[in-house]
Amino acid sequence: MSLGSGCAYAGSVTPEQAPDSLIQRKQLRARQRIIDAADELFARHGYDAVSVTDIAARAEVGRTTFFRYFGDKTEVVFAKEQALLDTIASAGADDTVGAASDHREAIEQLRPIVLRLFAQVTDDLDAYQHHTDLVEKHLELRAREALKTQQLASNLTEVLRSRGTAQTIAVFAGQIALACYETARRRARTAADLVSESSAAFDEVLTLGCG
């Protein structure tokens, strides 16, 4: 699972917002029903055979309600991305961490964020594996994931920039963090290995030129 543009659209409530009213709780339940319906239908019939109308009908909502939360059925596949974006944004809002003075320090600052992302996406290993299998089978989903994954580097770069790190250092570190992220995804034998493989990738980067 990768990151990118948020899945929730204007007027909708994302899972990370506190459901402090009856309306918000209803919106969250409707959104989750759409996600659950899409997961069920994709697993049963395949991604290509399922339409937005099918998903809306299975979730017992109208098409208008569907489009209140998702731009198309592809966005439902990446419905959990907003939670990951919020994790990165939260790191950027942490004012206890200052500007990185060099590339190494910048990479070290991004390391715990990437590890946290992997811990988050693998909280439900079966769901993560199902998502990965679905994406791998469809060119359209792989293309969308590639765009969202590249957005990861941009978001991580912005975390460093928000802390006062120089643009050149922040961009470099963001791309290196993305490389560690992608390396972990390709090396991990199972989803349960993603956090450890990501940590190992950062270790390798940080020891380059030291031996």
Residue 161, classed as helix, strand or coil, is: helix
Counted residue by residue, the chain has a size of 211
What residues make up the domain containing 150?
A: 81-207
Are both 46 and 116 inside the same structural domain?
A: no
Per-residue pLDDT of the chain (211 residues; tens, 9 = 90+): 444 333 333 334 444 445 568 888 888 899 999 999 999 999 999 999 999 999 999 999 999 999 999 999 999 999 888 788 889 998 888 888 999 999 999 999 999 999 999 999 888 888 888 889 999 999 999 999 998 888 889 999 999 999 999 999 999 999 999 999 999 999 999 999 999 999 999 999 999 865 4
Return the axis-axis angle of helices 22-45 and 125-136, rounded to nearest 10°: 60
Q: Are 126 and 193 in contact (CB under 8 A)?
A: no
Terminal C-alpha separation, the chain: 34
State whether 111 and 175 are in the same domain: yes
Cα gap 1→135, rounded to integer Å: 9
Q: What are the counts of helices (DSSP H) followed by strands (DSSP E) for the chain?
A: 10, 0
On whether both 58 and 139 belong to a single domain, the answer is: no
Among 48, 77, 106, residue at a domain's last position: 77
**Structural domain total, the chain:** 2
Same domain? For 137 and 167 the reply is yes
- Cα-based angle 87, 89, 94 (whole degrees, multiple of 5): 95
Do 97 and 121 sit in the same domain of this protein?
yes
Domain final residue, candidates 33, 58, 77: 77
Q: Which runs of E-coded beta strand occur in 39-123? A: none
pTM, to two decimals: 0.78
